[in-house]
Amino acid sequence: MRVLHVFAGPFPTYQGTQALVGQICRLLSAAGHDVHLLAYAHGAFEPEGDYTIHRIDDWPRFDSERSGPSLQRPVLDAALARAARRLHRRLDPQIVHAHHYEALAATRLAGLRPLVFHLHALLGPELHQYLPSYLRGPASLTGGLADRVLPRLADRVAVVSEGIRDRLSRSRIDLDRVRLVRPAAELPALEQRPTRRAEGRRLRAIYVGNLDSYQGFDALFEGLRALDWAARSTLRVEIVTASAPEPFLLDVRRAGVEDMVRVKPHDTLEQAWFRLLAADFVLVPRYSPGGVPIKLVNALAAGKPVLMDRRMAGELIHGEEAWIVEMRDPQAVATGLKRLANDEVLRRRLSEGAARAAERLHDPALVTSALESLYEELV
């Protein structure tokens, strides 16, 4: 089957949304489909996978890799709609698969059908966090309206979590048109594996991802501040990111946790995976609902213990597959950090549970079969 995927953003980059788009294209092409992806003109590195990438013209000039609104995006998305229409005439795909809202708008503007809309994250809980405080109220209302209305424009909707499906149901969107397609958990083959932690070294809790405000660092910092002196002296938080670190480091100093937090850049995906595998446990501080953090799926794939918020937990079992807390309760976060730092038996149990959860919920074969079934309904 020939499928045209459309994504309104740079591709590939080190962000979770782009990682998921690339993963889906790669899995479908490996299953024998003729997969094409249309995206913005630039990316951060060379993608992997046997699928074809098409790009819009590099005008207006846009080289940012950050998520969120910008002045250039409406013009770029109009160019995306034009390019999608031309590419559709040339390729004649059986399915058009739009990733996130801007691509949905562009493909509908181009009049392309049949159309699958892949809803990676709800806009209501997220959009306002990119904007100044005086715009956050209207932005939150706008995002919520988009979540209730825009998915109706597609013939089918693929969602990444049960929570998003429930939200669409409350908006009275016909669930017969909605399919749950969780991200796949995949552990890459690395040329080098990390060595065992030396005795006496500080335990390392790691976060791997971008530094946008919706990631929940405010709650994490409050939890770190609630730790007693003994816990602060035995734990180090390592932030591994491709984002510019300067504003984040200011926030670290303002929060008074600079003695515990270190920021490490990563230049390659392999380097990020290496640091993840070398850590003692993983932090997923995001508490804003409406999506599945790819960093969480990666942690499960790596079999790492995870400290995370209950809103992101979905079907994960507390104490067996992850350590689940109320991230906005500093004492709960501090208690969770101390439990994971001091209890090696607990870390081992969570590690084994994480690997089981990855297989149970995020098997790559489930992604491929779910999308193939969705496509066949429309074709």
Strand order in the sheet with 281-284: 261-265, 235-241, 203-208, 281-284, 306-309, 323-325
Decide if 183 contacts 292 (C-beta within 8 A): yes
Nearest CA to 261 out of 285, 232, 238 is that of 238
The pLDDT value recorded for residue 199 is 52
Tell me the pTM.
Answer: 0.92
User: Looking at residue 102, what is its pLDDT?
Assistant: 95
Domains annotated for the chain, with CATH where assigned, are 2-184+363-378 (3.40.50.2000), 203-361 (3.40.50.2000)
Residue/partner pairs of 98-101 with CB below 8 Å, 24 or more apart: 98/5, 98/6, 98/7, 98/154, 99/5, 99/6, 99/7, 99/8, 99/17, 99/20, 99/21, 100/7, 100/8, 100/9, 100/17, 101/146, 101/150
Beta carbons of 266 and 241 less than 8 angstroms apart = yes
What pLDDT sits at residue 137?
85
* pLDDT at residue 197, rounded to an integer: 60
β-bridge partners, 282: 206, 306
Is the separation of the CB atoms in 360 and 184 below 8 Å? no
Tell me the one-letter amino acid at 231.
A
Helix (H, G, I), strand (E, B) or coil at 284: strand
The answer to whether 129 and 28 are in contact (CB under 8 A) is no
Q: What is the pLDDT of residue 289?
A: 83
Whole-number pLDDT of residue 107: 98
Mode of pairing for the β-strands spanning 52-55 and 178-180? unpaired
Distance CA 135, CA 334 (A): 33
Which stretches of the chain score pLDDT less than 50? Answer: none
pLDDT of residue 196: 59
Task: Say if CB 96 and CB 114 are below 8 A apart.
Answer: yes
Residues 6+ apart with CB under 8 A from 82: 110
The Cα 99–Cα 161 span in angstroms is 15
